[in-house]
Structure 1
C-alpha cells in the first residue's frame, strides 16, 4: 500500500497545469497587492504620465499711471488749438488778472547784472536810451506777464533803484532773482560784488506818457500780433472787437498778443491791467512795426 501511495503522489506532482495554476495565483496576489496598497502608483505611471505645468494666472495689462499715456505706435497728431482762442470771449471768462507778481507784496532774492546793450530784450520793446532796466527770472517772467512792469529794488545797505522789466533771465535764474543792467546794479553796490541780496516790489510810477500800440512785423488782416508799450501797470489782458463781441487774444513769450486767424486785426482794442482797469482804443490800423500812440494811460495805484 505504501508503495502504491508513493507512486500516486509522484504522478500527481508531475501532472500538467499544476505549476501554471500556482504561478497565476502568485501573480494575481502580487497584482492585488500593488493596486490595494494606498499611495503606491501603478508600475510605470510616474514615467509615462506627462507633467502638468503649474497653472498660471494670465497677466493683466498694467493700468497707466495717472497723467501718463501708454506709448503709441503712431505719432500723436498736433492738437487743434482750443476753440476759445478763436471765438469771441467775454471778460468774465478770462483767467485771473494778477499773476505771480502782485501789488503790495515784497519779494526776496538776489541781484546780478549783465550788459544790457541797446536795452532790447525778450519783451521786444526795441532799443532804448533808458538804461535802468532789468531781466526778470524765468519763473516770475511768466510768459511775458512781467514785461513792462516797474520794480523798485532795495539792497541791504538801504540803496534803491527803480527799473523796468524788458528782458527775461533764463534758468538757472531762481525765483526772486533780478538780472539788472550794469548801470542799475551800480546804483546798489560795487560791480565787484557780482551778486547781492535784495528785496523788490511792484511799482505804479508817476508818468506823463500815454500808452502806445504796435502791430508786429508781418501783420495783416489775415494774421496779426499786437503789443502794448509804455503802460504804467502790467498788462493782464488784450481783447479785440470781433463778431459783435470781445475776443481775448493769447499772449506769447515774446510779449505779443496773437490773432492767428486775423479775426479782430485792425479793429477796436481793449487793454486791461492787473488791477482790472480797462482802456479802449479806436483808430489803430494794421501798420506793421510802427509805434502808434494813444491818448490813454492806466491810473496810478
Structure 2
C-alpha cells in the first residue's frame, strides 16, 4: 500500500457543478426575460417588466373608468326634479282673485278714502248664515241684541275697514234686508260673500237652502244715534287702543292730537286704533269717514271698556 503522501488527489466535481448551475440559471433567466419582452431588447426599461406581473391587476385601473358613468346617471336625475318642483309652487288659482276682484276699486270723488267697500258699487256673491251667539264678533263691538248683522269675507273685511258699515243685501227673489257688519268670515268665505245672522238669512230664504246668490251695496242710513268712543282694556297715558262705535259711514281714519299736530293711528284687524307709545292717549280725537268728513271729539277721559257717547255723527250720503 502506498503511503498517503503518494496518493493522487481526486477531482472536486461538486465545486465544478455549482458554478456551472449558477451560470446556467442566470442564462436561463435572461433568456426568459428576453422572451417576455415584446421587442426582445434588454434595455434599461427591462427592470419595469418585473412589475409587469402586476399587469394582471389591470382591472384595478379599469374600475376608475366605470364609476364616472355611474356618478353621472344620478346627477342627471335631480335636474328634472329641480325644474318640476317650482311649478307647483306657483298656484295660479290663488292669484286670480287678487287680480280680478279688486278691479271695481277705482278712486271715487264721492268717497276718496273708501277701500273695497264704496258707495254706488254693487257686489256679487253668496249669502250663508251662522249662529251669532251674543252678537259680538271680530269688530269687538261687544254683545248686542241686534240680530240684523253679518260677517264680511276676509277680502272685503280689509283689516276691519268694513266694521260698522251698513249694507243692503238683495236676493234673486227680490227680497232685501239691511245688515250691519260686526264680524269677519274667514276662508273659505270668498270675495263678495256675506255670512248673515240666522235671523237675517231667514228674511231672504228658507234656512234649509243653506246658501243663496246675492248682491249687496253700501248704505248711509238715517239714524239719530251719535258716535261713541271706547278705550281698550289696559289703556293708559302710556299705551292705548281707541275704537269708534255707531258711525253712520265706514270709518277711514282715527287721529289723536299729539302736541300741536294730529297723529294718525294704525288700525288693527280687531277694529282698534293703537297708540303704542301713548302719544295722544286721553287727548282730542279726530274721526274721518270714507267721504272725507272729519269730526273732532274732545274731553274724554281714559276709561277702559267704557262706551262714552259723543255729540257728533257723520252726514248721510
The verdict on a shared fold, with TM-score over 0.5 as the criterion, is yes
Shift of 1:97: 1.9
The one of 109, 123, 133 aligned to 1:107: 123
Is residue 278 of structure 1 aligned with residue 278 of structure 2?
A: no
Shift of 1:244: 1.7
Distance 1:284 1:98 in 2: 28
Is residue 170 of structure 1 aligned with residue 186 of structure 2?
A: yes
The one of 153, 169, 181 aligned to 2:169: 153
The one of 225, 228, 231 aligned to 2:244: 228
Higher helix share: 2
Runs of 4+ in 1 over 4 A off after TM superposition: none
Instruction: Show the counterpart of 1:180.
Output: 196
Measured on the aligned residues, the alpha-carbon RMSD in Å equals: 3.6
Distance 1:284 1:219 in 2: 13
Is residue 202 of structure 1 aligned with residue 184 of structure 2?
A: no
Instruction: Show the counterpart of 2:147.
Output: 131
Distance 1:124 1:284 in 2: 20
Q: Secondary structure at the match of 1:157?
A: coil
Shift of 1:98: 1.2
Q: Secondary structure at the match of 2:230?
A: strand
Distance 2:118 2:223 in 1: 20
Distance 2:276 2:301 in 1: 17
Shift of 1:243: 3.2
TM-score normalised by the chain length of structure 2: 0.66
Gaps of 5+ in 2: 1-85, 87-111
Distance 2:113 2:261 in 1: 20
Q: Which has the higher contact order (CA 8 A, sep 6+)?
A: 1
Shift of 1:102: 1.2
Aligned residues: 250
Note the alpha carbon deviations across 1:208-229, whole angstroms, 9 max, x for none. Answer: 0010000001100010000000
Distance 1:172 1:190 in 2: 22
Q: Secondary structure at the match of 2:199?
A: helix
Distance 1:187 1:298 in 2: 29
Q: Secondary structure at the match of 2:244?
A: strand
Distance 1:97 1:246 in 2: 18
Distance 1:272 1:169 in 2: 26
Distance 1:154 1:106 in 2: 10
Distance 2:220 2:118 in 1: 12
Is residue 190 of structure 1 aligned with residue 190 of structure 2?
A: no
Q: Secondary structure at the match of 1:246?
A: strand
Instruction: Show the counterpart of 1:264.
Output: 280
Gaps of 5+ in 1: 1-64, 66-95
Q: How does 1:237-248 map to 2 (within 5 A)?
A: 237-248=253-264
Note the alpha carbon deviations across 1:160-188, whole angstroms, 9 max, x for none. Answer: 00000000001000000000000000110
Shift of 1:121: 0.4
